[in-house]
Structure 1
Amino acid sequence: MTSQEQEVPDGWRVFRATGHTTDGPLPHLPKAPPWRQFRGGPPQPLPPDDEEAALRRLGPGNVVQQLGPDETDIVNAALLLRRPLLITGPPGIGKSTLAFLIGRELGLGRVLEWNIVSRTTLRDGLHTYDALGRAQAIAAWRAGLREATGTGPGEDADGSAAPSSRGRQRTPALGEFITLGALGTALLPYERPRVLLVDELDKSDIDLPNDLLHVLENGSYEIPELVRDAADSACVHTSDPGGHAVVREGRVECREFPVVVITSNGEREFPAAFRRRCLPLEMQPPTREQLLAIVESHLRERPEGTERLVDEYIRRVRSGGTHSLDQLLNAVRLTTLGGFQADADGRKLMEMLLRDLAKGR
C-alpha cells in the first residue's frame, strides 16, 4: 500500500457518481490486479470527446445522483478489478446513462455504443470486412493500370509480364476495408480505458453471452483476414469518427481493459459462466425528489405543473406499468409550454405521452 493510499482510507473509490469533472489532471485509476493486466501495443492516442452525446444523456445541469453508496461501491469495484458491470432494472430508469456518467467524471472520452438486437453476433462488435468493396477497388486499380500502360492486364507492349508497372501504383490495402466495431475499438491498446456500452444484451441471440466469454477474459481477439495477410501490420478504421489504428499480425490486445457497461431489462437469464465474469448492479427507480431534480437538470428550470406530472408518473409506475424517464421529460416539456390547454384534447395527448409501454401501443 502506498503512502497516498494510507492517507486516504477510501482512495480506491475514484468514482463518486456526481458527474463532476476536475479542472486539473485526469483522475488516476487504481492499478489493475496482476491477472487483469495486458500488454497490447502500439499505444493509441487519446480518444476524442463527445460532449454533445453526454449532454443528451445527462442534461446540461448538475447530474442528479441516482446511485446510493452501495451501488457506487459496486462501480468502483468494477473499475478496480477491471470487470464488466451487468446493470439490470426496469426499462428507462437510466441504466445506459451510467456509462456516460463514468466517462464524463473520469475523463475517459467518447463512449463507444454497441446496441444489441436479436441478430447481433460477436463479429459485429469486433470488426467488419468489406470484401465486395475490396474486390471492386482491386478491379478499378487493375483497370487504371491497364489504361496507364496501354497494355493488357499484367503485360508490357510485347506481351511479357510487367511487375514494375504494377509497383508504380499502390494496390488497395486490406486494412482500408476493415472497420473495428465498438467492442473491437474498446480493446485497442489505449493508455487509459475506453468506456463501452453494451446496451440491452438480453435481446441478443442465446449464444452471444457465451461468445463474449473469451474476449472479456483475455482482452484480445484476432482479425482472420489480417492474420492470413502477408503484411506484418495494417491500418484499419475504428468506430470513432475518422479514427484509424495500426494492427500488428492481425491481433488486437488492450493495455487497459475497457470500462464495460452491460445493460439488461431482465427479459432472460444469462449463463453462470458469463455472470461470473461480471459484477451485478441493480438500479432502483428514482424517488420523487430525484425525478423533480432530473426534470430541472434537463430543462434548466422547474416549470409550473411539474410536480403534478411527476406525481402522475409515479402513480402510473406504482400501478405496475412500464414507463421511461423520457416519457416524463416529454410530458413536462410539452404540457408546460405556453398556450397548451389541458382540455379534452390536451388530456388525450398526455395519456399518449405517459402510456404504459408494456401494452404495445
Structure 2
Amino acid sequence: MTATIPLAIAHDYVTQRGGAEKVVLALHRAFPDAPLYTTLYEQATTYPEFSDVEIHTSWLNRVGALRRNHRLALPFLPFAAQSVKVPAECTIASSSGWSHGFATAGAKIVYCYSPARWLYQTDTYLGQDRGLRRAALLALRPWMRRWDRAKSKTATTYFAISTVVQERIRDTYGIEAEVLPAPHSVDPEAPKEPVVLDDFVDEGFYLCISRLLPYKNVDKVIDAFRELGKPLVVVGSGPEERRLAEMAPDNVRMVKNISDDQIRWLYSRSRALVSASFEDFGLTPIEAATFGKSAIVLRWGGFLDTILEGETGVYFDQPDRGAIVDAVRAHEAIEWDPERLRAHAETFSEESFARRLREEIQRHTSLDETSPNR
C-alpha cells in the first residue's frame, strides 16, 4: 500500500455524541485537510460538524441498522476494522478498541481512550445485561482479545488520555504510553439556547451529562437526588434510558438530542456538575469549569487528572446514594471561585493538545510546520 496523502485521522465509529467525538472534531480543527477514516458514520446521531469532514467508511456502513446501533455491529467490527485501509504517511488513530486495528501505510499514532472495555472490563461494560449480547461477547472474547493485542503492536506511538488509561495500556499491551489529556472545545461566550424543562426551575439545578450505560452509574445519581430533593437535569441517551426515566422522581428532568447551544445554556444555568461514572478521562468537569462551575465526581480514573479537590470540585469514594448525598452537601458548604475554575479549564486547551501531536508527527514523518495539514 502506497502513501498518497500526508496525514489522516481515524476513529472507531462516528455514530454518537460524546467526549471521543469531540476529540475527533478537535483533531479536525487542528488538521483541517486530513480526511477521517472510520467503520460507521451516521450523520443524524452525531455532531453536525462532521458533515464538513471528508469521511471514508468501511463496508459495514452499508447496513443502516448497524449505523443506528453500533452495539449490534460488535461481532463484525474486527473484520470491518481490519478492512479499513488508510493511505497516509501518518495516521492519528482515535481509539477505544477499533481504529488502532486499521491498516495504515505509514506511522500510526494511537490516541487511546481505553483498551476495549467490552474485552477487558466486560462486567462493568454490560452491567446487569444477562441476555444474548453477553453470551455472544463471552464466546467471541478469547479470539477478539488476541486480535486486539496483535493490532496494538502495529502502532508507532501510543498516547493515553489519562493516568488510569496509561496503567491499563501497560497492563493490557505491555506498552508505555505518554499521557496526553484531551482538550475541551467549549466556548462559554458562544450563543446559548434555552432548554424546555416544562415547569422545572430554569437555573440553580445540578447537571449530569452522560451516555446512559451501566458503568456510568446515572441511576445512583438519580437515587441521591431523590433523597436530596434538589433539582437535577440528566442529559444523555443510551441502553439505560427507559429504566432511568421510569425511576426518575419529580425533581429530576431527563433530556436528550440537544444542540451545543443548549448544552452551553445548561452549563451556564447550572449550580454544579455531578458524575458517578467510571470515567477514563472526565471531560465534563473541564467543560463545566469553563463556565465557572464546580463538579461533584467519583474519586476514580480520569477524574483524578481533571479535578483539584476543594478548588474545582469535590470527590466521593463510592458510586452509591449515601456517598453522593454527602458530597453534594459538602459541596454546598464551599464558596467556589469562578475565575479559579476558568483558569483551570484553560490548562486543557486545544492548542497544547495539537502542539504535542504535531511534535510527534514530525518525529516520524517528513511533515513539518509548512504542511497543509498544519
TM-score norm. by structure 2 comes to 0.28
Higher relative contact order (CA 8 A, sep 6+): 1
* Larger strand proportion of the pair: 2
Tell me which structure has the larger Cα radius of gyration.
1
TM-score norm. by structure 1 comes to 0.28
